[in-house]
Structures are given as structure tokens and as C-alpha cells.
């Protein structure tokens, strides 16, 4: 798929996929120790369930920090590709980070939004994406020109490959269902931090 020539689709045209399934598909395409930051909510639970990698960081605690943390990692290690996985509720709390990522023209960074239209982990309250907000359009408006909804699973894989191969920043919107995550992230923040720092080669 050529990103430039492919017709962009709207949120309501995108297939509703499964978060664990697409997370697994994404992880299977990582071959160069790419860093992956899983946002709070069920996003990092399914990243955890998709198999532990020392280059994964699981955000526990505050919403909206996957993209800013990923930006920090991308700035510190420009040779490494970095992917932020974030829920729709969480990115809505931190929209300014999209403008910062765009302004930095952060080549080695991709943000994947898992949009289930709810704050699922806290009981399924509806978010604004279910009421008309389109995070891909917002990202484009923030200046991330390479922003697209994944039409389906194979389009998602193509977008991930493109983001891993070519300069970003990228933003990939994924509509997902409200299935429970496949596992629960171990709540041990110091261990998560230490393993991630080792995984990035920052400490031994
Ligand atoms: C700043 C902040 N506000 C509220 C919370 C409580 N909280 C934790 S996760 C969450 C919902 C996350 O929603 P979303 O990012 O859409 O992910 P999902 O649960 O749907 O996977 C809320 C409200 C929090 N942890 N931090």
C-alpha cells in the first residue's frame, strides 16, 4: 500500500478489530529491538499478553503518557524505532503531545491508538471518540501528516511495516472491540523500569 496514494478512510469506515490480535500482529513484525510503550488501560495488558520483550515499557498510573514517553525514548535513541500504543481515552488527555511530536518531526516514532470508544478498564464509560471525535483527523490537524485509520488487519500490518521502514512520525488509528484483555500486566513498576532500561542498553 502506498500511503500517499491510498484514500484515507474515516473512523466509521474502519473495521472493528481485536486489540490482542493486532498487538500480536504488531509484535510479530518487530525484528530490530524496537521500543514499544504500552499506555495505561488495557493497551498495556495486551502488550504484556503478546509476549514479554525487554524493549517493552508498560505504563501504569497516569493516562496519556505513552506518546510523551515514546517521544522521550525516540529523542534519546534516534537510531531505534519507537512505537507508542495508547487508548483513545488516554490520548484525549494528552492531545498536545501530538503537536509536539509533529513539531519535532520525530522520524523514528509511531503512535498507535487503540480506539474502543470507552474508558474500558474503569467500567466502560464512553469517550468522545464514540461521540464524534476522530483522533486520526486530530493528529493530522496537529501536524502529523502520516496519520491513517487501519481499514482492517492487513492494512494495519502494512501501516506498521511502513512505519518501521520509513521516516515518521506516524499515527495509526485502530478501531477495536471491547473484549477483555488476554492477561494482566504484573504491577511491579521498578522491575518494569529496570528491565526496560536494560532492554534499551542504558544499564547492564
Ligand atoms: C490522569 C488520570 N486520570 C484518570 C485515571 C483513571 N483511569 C485509569 S485508566 C482509565 C481509562 C483508560 O481509558 P483508555 O485509555 O481509553 O483505555 P482502555 O481502558 O479503554 O483500554 C482511567 C479513567 C488515571 N489513571 N489517570
Categorize the per-residue pLDDT at 8 as very low, low, confident or very high, splitting at 50, 70 and 90. Answer: confident
C-alpha distances out from residue 133 to 40, 96, 99, 129, Å: 20, 15, 17, 4
Categorize the per-residue pLDDT at 174 as very low, low, confident or very high, splitting at 50, 70 and 90. Answer: very high
Contact 187, 129 (CB under 8 A): no
Say how far apart CA 146 and CA 125 lie, in whole Å: 30
Q: What percent of the chain has pLDDT over 90?
A: 95
Q: What percent of the chain has pLDDT over 70?
A: 97
pLDDT digits (tens, 9 = 90+) for 41-52: 999 999 999 999
Residue 1 has pLDDT above 70, yes or no: no
186-199: average pLDDT: 96
Say how far apart CA 144 and CA 139 lie, in whole Å: 5
Residue 58 has pLDDT above 90, yes or no: yes
| Residue with cell string 499515527 | 171
Query: Which residue's C-alpha comes closest to atom 22 of ligand 1?
Result: 122
**pLDDT at position 2, please?**
42
80-95: average pLDDT: 98
Residue 55 has pLDDT above 60, yes or no: yes
Non-local CB neighbours of 196 within 8 Å, separated by 6+ positions: 35, 54, 55, 56, 57
- Output the nine-digit C-alpha cell for 187: 504491577
Best residue for ligand 1 mutational test, from 19, 20, 41, 67 (most atoms within 8 Å of Cβ):
41
171-195: average pLDDT: 97
Give distance in angstroms: CA of 66 to centre of ligand 1: 12
Q: Which atom of ligand 1 is nearest to the CA of 63?
A: 26
Pocket of ligand 1 (CB under 6 A): 40-43, 62-63, 87-90, 116, 118-122, 127
**pLDDT at position 4, please?**
52
Categorize the per-residue pLDDT at 6 as very low, low, confident or very high, splitting at 50, 70 and 90. Answer: low
**pLDDT at position 129, please?**
98
Categorize the per-residue pLDDT at 101 as very low, low, confident or very high, splitting at 50, 70 and 90. Answer: very high
**pLDDT at position 110, please?**
98
pTM to 2 decimal places:
0.97
Say how far apart CA 6 and CA 2 lie, in whole Å: 6
Cα-based angle 89, 16, 154 (whole degrees, multiple of 5):
115
Contact 118, 185 (CB under 8 A): no
Q: What is the rounded average pLDDT for all residues in the chain?
A: 96
- Output the nine-digit C-alpha cell for 171: 499515527
Amino acid at each position: 500500500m502506498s500511503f500517499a496514494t491510498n484514500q484515507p478512510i474515516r473512523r466509521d469506515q474502519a473495521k472493528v478489530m481485536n486489540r490482542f490480535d493486532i498487538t500480536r500482529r504488531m509484535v510479530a513484525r518487530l525484528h530490530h529491538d524496537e521500543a514499544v510503550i504500552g499506555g495505561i488501560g488495557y493497551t498495556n495488558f495486551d502488550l504484556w499478553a503478546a509476549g514479554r520483550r525487554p524493549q517493552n515499557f508498560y505504563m501504569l498510573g497516569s493516562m496519556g503518557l505513552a506518546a510523551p514517553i515514546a517521544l522521550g525514548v525516540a529523542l534519546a535513541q534516534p537510531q531505534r524505532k519507537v512505537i507508542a500504543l495508547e487508548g483513545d481515552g488516554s490520548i484525549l488527555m494528552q492531545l498536545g503531545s501530538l503537536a509536539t511530536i509533529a513539531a519535532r518531526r520525530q522520524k523514528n516514532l509511531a503512535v498507535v491508538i487503540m480506539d474502543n470508544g470507552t474508558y474500558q478498564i474503569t467500567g466502560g464509560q464512553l469517550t468522545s471518540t464514540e461521540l464524534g471525535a476522530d483522533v486520526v483527523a486530530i493528529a493530522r490537524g496537529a501536524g502529523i501528516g502520516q496519520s491513517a485509520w487501519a481499514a482492517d488487519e492487513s492494512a494495519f500490518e502494512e501501516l506498521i511495516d511502513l512505519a518501521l521502514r520509513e521516516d515518521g512520525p506516524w499515527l495509526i488509528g485502530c478501531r477495536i472491540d471491547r473484549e477483555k484483555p488476554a492477561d494482566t500486566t504484573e504491577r511491579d513498576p521498578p522491575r518494569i523500569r529496570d528491565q526496560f532500561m536494560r532492554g534499551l542498553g542504558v544499564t547492564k
